[in-house]
Chain A
């Protein structure tokens, strides 16, 4: 370990770090624009200049300078100050001084650092250059005159997102950042370049001129629009969520966020259910909470528990599901399920429905088999980890299922269960690859499990894992990739059919046949709501989607930004989402709605506060006590061997931008769908 001196303080640093990193370890801040710890080193902004001895008597770019033993780094000398002032003055030669009308104002690296290194006036009297703005798609707004050519966006697109479409054209004074032929940046992670841009060249299009950062209240929460559970910050002004940004969580999302999770938030003020409704004479009419509860109570009166059913949707918090399960228990109904898509996930063995390797663990894998999944659309942040495994470790990645461009080479071995079986019994050569790997990984998606023969597919995947030695001492390479944020929580708290109860398919067919008379949909919109026959449908949720249209009573709930809730992500990590704004109108936190209803039904649940619910939840499954942690699950039996249908696996996500009631109501997501999915990306002159 080399020892270096930073401003007179001696510290020991790991070999191979750069002078900039050494300074950070010593607690000295180095200004920078192009350097970013997750991207390759470019060394082109020159802002991080320091004085180094031994070495030539001139400032050195610390971001690109590896430390050597005995190196003395000075960051506070007159030379350093003067050099940085000079760099800043050059950067500002062509950068417009338009901070008052720039969206980056208030959260701009250049603005901040100009406070420390800038002059009070400009000495530049010539013409500034002007650069034409570029089209980069529906999310990224460009004001390219402000660009300082740090190339962070280019490196992000090339290295992290894996879509090498951004580049720096021309040279010197004429250099310009653009996408190839000004096409939209076709990536699910495209908006991360907005966070990376240290100036106001790339800003958020949907959020353009909406607010200043200091007007926003910032709430740290958890994303629920996929099963990754990315750490987010919800920025709101009064009652409205204006934007969602990623937070740092090395174990989950690093510092990235998918475009859907970031931009579906405009839907939080659209198509909201903000008061109870009761269907009267075939039409939904506004009602009070008492009327809505009374309508449910009347229907429920004397109804046998077996004729009642509940389905939990994909965005539910654990507390509301737990409350609903409590209610179903007390009315004696065994018919409840949280697997809307009919995925044949095991109910007992936790290892059978978790991403056991953990998300961060995936990047160390050296052989990966994807079964019936498209991680790029189902969980873009899992896909970046797989890309990293390929990029840094040269992992061999293969897929059984749909053939998709995943941004890294992926060998398509076959389309369906036949191939899976061949790998499981060792007759396919990839079995040897998995056996020979040090850290093999199998990822089973909902495309493989959400089908009639899902049990058998799961058993086959389990057999594959056992035969190929994917689960070994200190390494569990068996993973299930979920698409719903609520799913693992639902399974953990047992929101599954009880003794003799129906699953989702059973509930729907039971309702169609008239055996089930009341169906309680807790944010469940992905089921076939038209097939519920004459059943009385209660819909509790926040958006007017499929479930609400079919409902006889609507109970307005809170969206994920409007309640404190517990979510368990695909790796089994329990995380707490926090309330950023109040639910609109008469809408209430979901668990409290169920508790209030339980009182009206005479089956009162015995908790008063959210804390009580959480205590009961932890008592029911101690997993919920371990917030922010992943509990390794033991490798017990799951799956039921059987005949598999030869039909190919298909990803359940047909459109990344619209997967749930929130993103379906989002205008921004609709525009992304038009641009990237429907294939109408070509713009004409009349598009405006």
Chain B
């Protein structure tokens, strides 16, 4: 079974680099990064063959690899669409309107939570905090964060993706990083902070 999947040349080279970071006999420590490589190569999810390839690559029991892969929500054990949309639903994003984003996602992609669109373009899932609360609400699509979303801007992002374009990641409200919106509110005059 494990013949069906094997790291291609690029990924094999990266796998070797990663494994070499660990002491001799501790190569199993590399299981998480290697699963990530395998997931990238396999198209965003981990088929059984990929899991078994990682297991044999690291000389560890298959069940141990499956334990790791099933523990972390970043690993997908079912096929996903080309754009893997992860809606943050934790409190800050929720207070800032993540429910609206969910409705937009359903509108544009046709996917409810946990569903993949028929054409395989989108998969929409709900996730816990992704650590970008300053720019709530946000979603992660594949490796990119899209932040400061509104129903309209999220719709634009999804539609661009639908057309095959790559919308600009980051804040959709024009912010750089997580600076305040509007003018500076602190350190504006001499003597402040004394």
Contact = CB atoms under 8 A, between A and B. Distances in A.
Interface stretch (A164-172, A198-206, A455-463): A164-172
B64 interface: yes
Contact of B61 (A165, A168, A169, A170): A165
B71 A171 contact: yes
Interface of A: 158, 164-171, 179-181
B91 interface: no
B64 A167 contact: yes
A515 B45 CA distance: 75
B66 interface: yes
Interface string B59-77: 0011110110011000000
B64 A168 contact: no
Contacts of A167: 63-64, 66-67
Interface residues of B, number: 9
Interface in B29-69: 48, 61-64, 66-67
Contacts of A170: 70-71
A154 to B, nearest CB: 9
Given A158-B61, A180-B66, 20 more contacts: A164-B61, A164-B63, A165-B63, A167-B63, A167-B64, A167-B66, A167-B67, A168-B67, A169-B66, A169-B67, A169-B71, A170-B70, A170-B71, A171-B70, A171-B71, A179-B63, A180-B61, A180-B62, A180-B63, A181-B48
Chain A at the B interface: SS class: mixed
Chain B at the A interface: SS class: helix
A262 B67 CA distance: 31
Most buried by B among A165, A169, A170, A171: A169
A238 B61 CA distance: 46
A179 B63 CA distance: 7
B36 to A, nearest CB: 18
Contacts of A171: 70-71
A167 B68 CA distance: 10
A164 B70 CA distance: 17
A181 B47 CA distance: 12
A168 B62 CA distance: 12
B63 A166 contact: yes
A179 B70 CA distance: 14
Most buried by A among B64, B66, B70: B70
24 contacts: A158-B61, A164-B61, A164-B64, A165-B61, A165-B63, A166-B63, A167-B63, A167-B66, A167-B67, A168-B67, A169-B66, A169-B67, A169-B70, A169-B71, A170-B70, A170-B71, A171-B70, A171-B71, A179-B63, A180-B61, A180-B62, A180-B63, A180-B66, A181-B48
B4 to A, nearest CB: 15
A171 B70 CA distance: 8
Nearest to A157: B63
A168 B61 CA distance: 13
B92 to A, nearest CB: 22
B114 to A, nearest CB: 13
